[in-house]
A and B are shown apart, each in its own frame.
Chain A
Amino acid sequence: MFPSDLCYTEEHEWVKVDDDVATIGITAHATDELGEIVFCDLPSVGAEIIQMDEFGSVESVKTVSSLFSPVTGIVSEINVEVVGAPSIINDSPYDSGWLIKVKLSDPKEVDDLLTPEEYKSHVKAE
């Protein structure tokens, strides 16, 4: 439920950092709360996103949920598979359901994010 090699946000995004590139997705807890995701709106490659700003949205039949960026940087890749078939996010939130990759402007921002233990207690407290 909470992979140990990821960092998290209170808004239920996860981040995986490889050198200066961050892969961003939403957590299994988020997909459980949303139910089947039917649309996914992502920024374009080359767009600049700012830490804690909204960068897109995911929409289920019941509700729409904004995506907040865990980091600042330039979008280097988007997962075109999930735009075409958003249910992939439900099926595999931490793997093939990733959303975007971002080239980090300030890798130190990653220190602001939650550890798996911190995120786990955040989910429990909600």
Chain B
Amino acid sequence: MKETKQTPLYDTHVHLKAKMTNFGGFDMPVWYTNIKDEHLAVRNSAGVFDISHMGVLKITGESAFESLQRLTCNDVNKSKNGHMIYNMMLTEKGTILDDLMVGELSEKTYIVVVNASNAEKILTWMTPKLNAGTYIEDLTKTHGLLAVQGPKAVELLSKITQKPLGDHPRFSLFKETWMGVDCLFMRTGYTGEDGFEISIPSASLLDLWTELMDNGITPCGLGARDTLRLEAGLPLYGQELSEEITPLMTRYSWVVKFTKDFIGKTALENLKLTEQPYTTVGIQMKERVIPRTGYAIKEGGQITSGTLSPVLDMPIAMALIPPQHAILGSVISVEIRGKYHAATIVPIPFISLKRS
């Protein structure tokens, strides 16, 4: 068994009496108080997540653009001038190795954010496939990453940094300093709310965390991160996305740009000629029983993620089902502990999001 890794804030989480769990090989906080309160803090005000387990890579060099363009299926041209784009790395079969964010920080320098659970796999996959003159630096070894999310996140961060951060549009990527420390700011997130993700040298991580807490920003664990992303309909690698699933079965088929060359393109060109076996839908249960990952659906397919929505106070889930059953408003049956329970197919996101 591999040793569990810790983020530089591990002792802080333990001191805050967080309930800890293993996620992506890291010992991470699931909650500090409880999932619902932390969830609602992000929906109504602002919360901060330690996401230092995520892999942050800096890709540089003369051929960095060409390397990324071939390794990923979205058009990296769209990441020019400090713009983070949603992207995927695929196998030759066209299935998903990882979903990631890519942005051009400056000329010939890109920031790539990958899932913690896939970071090693992606580094191993990418390294031999890079063009000569492309270099990878793993910022995860030297930096921490905090996500500050919620309707008050931008205003509070602008006050803390004394910089007009709201001037930077959604999905922007830029360098900024906090207390003289060089940081990377990304106006991105995984909650459906506005906010920033901030990469900061590990030595300054605790100071920034403390400053955020002192300004009334609620510490939030991975439990709330999961319920928030699920309400917003955002996929989680290992559940909605995997090496068994192609982007054509997800809500993100638009990520695939057939106008350029990339690993997995030939397979997907063939696959898109026929109907996909499964497609991703959102469901809401009619009864108060939670459908969990892997639960079977009578009409075919299975639940990929489910939870009790703290905003709707009803169980919601995402599922992969045969496309002929994926009709908004129709009812399907989920098998939960030996009994079928009715669920309605509903639009994603599950709640209305007010983000700017």
| A46 shortest CB reach to chain B, Å | 20
Question: Considering only CB atoms and an 8 Å cut-off, how many residues of chain B contact the other chain?
Answer: 16
B337 touches A57 (CB 8 A): yes
Report A52-91 CB contacts with B as 1/0, cut-off 8 Å: 0000010101111000000000000000000000000000
Interface: A39 (CB within 8 A): yes
- Taken together as a complex, chains A and B put the C-alpha atoms of A36 and B307 apart, in Å, by 13
In the complex formed, the residue of A with least CB distance to B224 is: A61
A38 to B30, CA, bound (A): 17
Min C-beta distance of B283 to chain A, whole Å? 17
Q: How far is the CA of A1 from the CA of B227 in the complex (A)?
A: 30
Choice from A35, A38, A57 contacting B19 with Cβ under 8 Å:
A35
Does B308 make an interface contact (CB < 8 A)?
yes
Q: Which 5 residue pairs spanning A and B have beta carbons closest together?
A: A36-B34, A61-B35, A38-B308, A61-B308, A39-B288
CB closest residue in chain B, given A39: B288
Verify if A32 is at the interface (C-beta below 8 Å from B). yes
Give 18 CB contacts A-B under 8 Å: A32-B19, A35-B30, A35-B31, A35-B35, A36-B35, A36-B36, A38-B288, A39-B288, A39-B289, A39-B308, A59-B289, A59-B290, A61-B35, A61-B223, A61-B290, A62-B35, A62-B223, A64-B290
Residues of A within 8 A of B34 (CB): 35-36
Measured between alpha carbons, how far is A57 from B35 in the docked complex, in Å? 20
Interface presence of B58 (CB below 8 A): no
Shortest beta-carbon distance from B335 to chain A in Å? 14
- Report the count of interface residues on A (CB-CB < 8 A): 11
B292 at interface by CB-CB < 8 Å: yes
* Complex contact B292–A64 (CB within 8 A): yes
Please, which residue of chain B has its CB at the minimum distance from the CB of A32? B19
The answer to whether A39 and B31 touch (CB under 8 A), given A61-B36, A61-B223, is: no
**Docked-complex contact A62 and B289, CB < 8 angstroms:** no
| Least CB separation from A34: chain B residue | B19
**CB within 8 Å of A: which of B29-51?**
30-31, 34-36
Most chain B beta carbons < 10 A, residue from A35, A36, A59, A62: A62
CA distance A20 to B298 in the complex (A): 44
Give the distance in Å from the alpha carbon of A36 to the alpha carbon of B31 in the complex: 11
Given contacts A61-B36, A63-B292, A64-B290, 16 further A-B contacts (CB under 8 A): A35-B19, A35-B30, A35-B31, A35-B34, A35-B35, A35-B223, A36-B36, A38-B288, A38-B290, A38-B308, A57-B337, A61-B290, A61-B307, A62-B30, A62-B35, A62-B223
Contact (A39, B290) CB under 8 Å given A61-B36, A61-B308: yes
CB distance from B30 to the nearest CB of A (A): 7
A18 to chain B, nearest CB (A): 32
Residues of A within 8 A of B31 (CB): 35
A117 to B329, CA, bound (A): 54
Residues of B within 8 A of A62 (CB): 30, 35, 223
